[in-house]
Amino acid sequence: MASKSRSRTQGSDDNGGDATQAIRDSAQKIWLAGLGAFERAKTEGPRMFETLVEQGRNMGARAVGMADDALKNMREANYAGNRWDKLEQVFEERVSKSLSRLGVLTTREVEELSRQVRELNESVQNLMTGAAERAKQAATGGTGRKRGSTRKSSARKGTAKAATGGAKKRRASRASRAPRA
């Protein structure tokens, strides 16, 4: 029995040993690959660096060229925009002159006339209010009472009626004296 258990242990050691050996071999290869990469970078590094610098220069030149083109296009668009603005301004001036010759009022002139009309309306309102107040004061004699509300004034009214009545009688007598046709 002892021999059976011993053979099993040796077999498992062989299998385990194979796996361990495979891991060691793999680690050794990785280590050697790293050393090889380091040596290659060391020998080819300056050459690789110069290659990258040259590629960067080419890329930079292309980027500057593209930026110059974009700036040029922007300036051309701005120039064209300024020319359109000038053309629009000339057109507006000519239309304005033509409308002026025809007697068409500009917006500014219409606004000025509207302002003047408002001022005139306010002046008329002030004059009417002032005239109404003066008439009221004239009617009250400045005392706040109506004129003719005293007895004296009613006596005057009676005299005025009598005077008017006398004039009527005189006219009637003249008419009766005149020859009839």
Q: Indicate whether 86 pLDDT > 60.
A: yes
User: What separation in angstroms does the CA of 170 have from each of 161, 163, 175, 178?
Assistant: 14, 11, 9, 13
What's the distance, CA 87 to chain centroid? Answer: 25
Residue 120: give the domain boundaries. 105-141
Per-residue confidence at 179, pLDDT binned at 50, 70, 90? low
Determine, yes or no, domain membership for 116. Answer: yes
Residue type, 131: A
Say what the pTM is: 0.29
**CB-side exposure of 166: number of CA atoms within 13 Å?**
6
Query: How much is the average pLDDT of 171-179?
Result: 59
How many domains does the chain fold into? 1
Q: Indicate whether 136 pLDDT > 70.
A: yes
Query: How much is the average pLDDT of 38-52?
Result: 82
Residue 6: predicted pLDDT: 47
Determine, yes or no, domain membership for 113. Answer: yes
